[in-house]
Chain A
């Protein structure tokens, strides 16, 4: 079982590395978005799968990353790294100041508080056009370059995103398997019992909220560099909902689930777009189908099928 699992992981990595050069440019473009969404969705997924928190405000940090990158690289002409770092710093500080009070709430109330946070932020991004460029946004964000290698094609950018995704997944994997991961899941399943074992829920949840914000910010900075612009339309409530759907669709408790969910969010609407205007309805219906029929997400459902067939195969 364990050997087959590492095999699957190795194979997936091989496919991720080797396949894209043979794919049409348009499809690689979608994969880049899937990668960026994986990073942002991973933050939401850690909160949902490990802490049981539905975060509908990830867009705030995604936008902060994007605007920090846009403003600093375009107006200040700072190096790209500065954009990433400043975005992360602001996001972490904000996550701490907002997270500490609102993480006292639980369940739907917390979900709604994060949603309200997203609405407030969106309205502010719209109004503060001296900073964000309002509806026009900020354009002309320079392409990323590594030494003198300019990431100016989807394929080149894809490999950067792939690297970032791999690192983030690895770090998240470490976290989940550590004592922090144990404490988080304990808290998710029974807060009373976790407290009796000396776990401090609010402090721990705030830390994971900050972590999630950092991931959102990195994803936002990547997005800004890739698209070359950042405007307020990219940071609406719908995007926040999509970020939450990523772990939900894929399966919140598994990291692979986040990747699957991000692929779903990035690719499925495109595939459905051949049905013309109908595609949004189909997307909604697909979402309902997953929520109703696969409570553990796509990967959860697959694992269940796998388990059943394995049991069936046994005498």
Chain B
């Protein structure tokens, strides 16, 4: 770990699509090992912000610093290798692969064997594969998917797809995990276990940036920012946010 207190910090981040600003002067940070929530009505720019931080969109203004490094020029892959990993609003699982293989794919970045080593099944390739396999088996247990591990991801219900996506992200040892609407499509029980996992991941030292509409789940966050038309209009604990009159007006609809 470096000396920075924040794993992620955004300074005056702005972005516009064809003249329409979707992000305006966004400032916030995620301290190491904390959970930061991001809420806001649909179209407020949450997904764009996720895309900016994970590198799917190159932002136009401001600074995105991860672990003290400017991320502007870094590819998605470089960010992911550095431990900045995201999930997607609609889970993107590898449908024609089994659950276990999906999770294994998440661990590929922990190993280094190349195509030629793999073709000739050289020792490093075999060792890598063993390691990936063991990690994935462990993750399967941890996320309660051991019974499903040989099923094609295609056959999983929506809730399990979310869990699989999170398991796949977590196995790659993220330092900042970005979860985009992880609770949508999950039933009450599943949300409860999702919450436990989030808390456990924090206990393991992983910082989490959480986007969700689920106010109940949001109470897990140490700090919540409210995004409205590309701007942060309020920040604080969930109880504070719920009392904030401006937030109630624009978002909670009260």
Contacts and interface: CB of A to CB of B under 8 A. Distances in A.
**Direct interface between A and B, CB < 8 A:** yes
Interface residues of A, number: 30
B125 A179 contact: yes
A8 interface: no
Contacts of B92: 190, 192-193
Contact of B97 (A189, A192, A196, A207): A189
Nearest to B118: A178
A180 B118 contact: yes
Q: Which applies to chain B's interface (DSSP): helix, strand, loop or mixed?
A: helix
A179 B121 contact: no
B86 A196 contact: yes
B132 interface: yes
Interface residues of B, number: 39
B113 A183 contact: no
A207 B85 CA distance: 25
A179 B104 CA distance: 8
A182 B104 contact: yes
B106 A185 contact: no
A197 B93 contact: no
Given A186-B105, A192-B88, A198-B80, A178 B121 contact: yes
Interface stretch (A62-70, A96-104, A169-177): A169-177
B213 interface: no
Contact of A182 (B56, B77, B105, B121): B105
B154 to A, nearest CB: 9
Contacts of A185: 94, 96-97, 101, 105
Contacts of A207: 115
A195 interface: yes
A181 interface: yes
B111 A179 contact: yes
Contacts of B121: 174, 178
Nearest to A49: B96
Contact of A195 (B76, B101, B114, B132): B76
B200 to A, nearest CB: 21
A192 B81 CA distance: 15
A199 interface: yes
Nearest to A193: B92
B63 interface: no
Contacts of B168: 197
B76 to A, nearest CB: 5
B151 to A, nearest CB: 13
B254 interface: no
Given A193-B92, A196-B86, A198-B108, A179 B118 contact: yes
B34 interface: no
A189 B119 contact: no
A194 interface: yes
B94 A179 contact: no
Given A186-B97, A186-B105, A197-B108, A178 B77 contact: no
A188 B128 CA distance: 22
A186 B132 contact: no
A180 B81 CA distance: 16
B27 to A, nearest CB: 25
B38 to A, nearest CB: 18
B108 A183 contact: yes
Contacts of B118: 174-175, 178-181
Contact of A179 (B78, B97, B108): B108
A200 interface: yes
B109 interface: yes
A161 to B, nearest CB: 20
Contacts of A188: 96
B110 to A, nearest CB: 9
- Enumerate the 10 nearest inter-chain pairs by beta-carbon distance, A residue then B residue, closest first: A178-B118, A189-B94, A193-B92, A198-B109, A198-B80, A186-B105, A174-B121, A190-B92, A180-B118, A198-B77
